[in-house]
Amino acid sequence: MLTYTTPLFNSKNKYAKAIWLIGFWFAYMVYESFAVAMATGSSSRIIFYLLHYPVNILLFFLHAFVILPLALKDKKQVFWKLPLLICIELSLFLTVKYFTDHLIAVIFKDLGGAKIVIDERFIYGGIWRSIYFISFASGYYYLKFYLKERDKRESLEKQALLDELKARDAQIELNNARNAFLRAQINPHFLFNTLNFIYSKIHKTDPAAGKTLSVLARLMRYALRSGSELAAMNLGEELGQAKLLLDLYKISKEEEKTEFVFKIEKGVENVGFIPLVILTLMENMFKHGDLSQKSHPGTLEISKVGGNLKIKTSNLFSAELNELSNHNGLNNISQRLVLSYGTAAEMKYFINHGYFCVEITAPIS
């Protein structure tokens, strides 16, 4: 929706607003003075009219910014408060006009003119002039109020539209998530049925390949099941899968030696912990570490320290491999720890005497 914004009412630049107002009043003063000169056939009184304009402009702003807001503040009292304030306003205007006429007569004696007295002509003329500018100010006030309400209404409509679009996007995302969930329920069945078929065909003729396929299937089942879990799971179950992952890695290395040591404190198997952290740490070690030296084996150490679970891994640092690593697996673990434990969990990784080390501390649930 296109919105026209009036500079006088909506300009964010105060200086531009002031310039606009000054220009408007100057143009109006020139217009009215010219009209008076044309009507009277004389321009001798133009300066006299112009010198009265500060009083007229003051009345305009007094009515638009003080009298009307004060009178309309309480709708129940507007019927008596508005007439009372206008009467006070008219009295003030006539008083200021009287003293202004005297001041002009003293300062600008050459303008001449009749003696200034408070008579019917002075009062009726002043009231007529004041009503003229009061009406002008009232139109300004209500136009300003209308534009403000219009902008507010358009803002509410825009916000409602944005909320509707957000709700629609959320619904689309929800539908996509539901569809993905349904596909996730179908795809694993197809995958494992296929793996079972392959296993039944090869485990007799190639026992090593059959064992590899069997271990892989068990790891994938665990990963798929634990990946849908939000809460902590029994750590002993993941440790069992970690040993399967080590077996799978050894099979993939064939003749190469794989040196890896588990240092698990008794009792930690029953501790609850978020899943897939141990497997990710080990996968990171297999991918980026050097586990071929018996004197420098990779290690996974898990213990309880106070009320916290302490997990440490270390492996011989391979500079060539780690230069290519962007630590996506470790960053993923860090984010999951924050989501699950907040600031109560801590993770750090560093190089120490040629070993790449990771240390995780998390509260025991």
pLDDT, tens only, 125-146: 888 888 888 888 898 888 888 8
Where are the domains positioned within the chain?
A: 7-167, 203-363
pLDDT at 240: 92
pLDDT, tens only, 186-221: 556 566 677 777 878 787 888 878 888 888 888 888
pLDDT reading at 344 higher than 90: yes
CATH number of 203-363: 3.30.565.10
What is the pTM assigned to this prediction?
A: 0.47
Look-up of token digits 């860090």:
334
CA within 13 Å, CB half, 289? 27
Task: Look at phi and psi of residue 262 and say left if phi exceeds 0, alpha if psi is from -120 to 50, else beta.
Answer: beta
H or E element at residue 198: helix 120-202
What are the CA-CA distances from residue 126 to residues 59, 61, 121, 182, 352 (Å)?
12, 17, 8, 83, 93
Residue type, 5: T
For the chain, helix, strand, coil in percent to 5 are 70, 10, 20
- Give the span between the Cα atoms of 4 and 147, in whole angstroms: 10
Mean pLDDT taken over the chain: 80
